[in-house]
Amino acid sequence: MIQIKNPFLESYLMNPLLEFRFNEKSYKRFKKLKRIIKKLKNLTKSFISTTVGLLSFPKQFFIGLVKSEKSFNYLS
């Protein structure tokens, strides 16, 4: 899992002098950021799985070629 820390938000929440007013505008901004982070996580996951798939593809491809070559020689 990817964890994104926000030092500004943490310091803002920890500061007792500031009153944390969670109005609708900031809530919408928060939800938007959360959605963007979720999309980035999904993109990263799909990118990693695609890369792994592409790296394992040549191996599978050549194994398939060798197997088909052997069966072709056996038939002829």
Instruction: Delimit the domains of the chain by residue range.
Output: 31-75
Return per-residue pLDDT of the chain as tens, 76 residues: 555 566 666 665 565 555 455 567 777 888 888 898 888 888 888 887 777 777 766 666 677 767 666 665 555 4
3-state SS, residue 68: helix
Q: Output the pTM of the full model.
A: 0.38
Distance CA 3, CA 59 (A): 34
Q: Per residue in 22-41, is it b (16+ CB within 10 Å) or e — as a string?
A: eeeeeeeeeeeeeeeeeeee
Enumerate residues 6+ apart whose C-beta is below 8 A from 12. Answer: 18, 20
Distance of CA 10 to the CA centre of its chain: 24
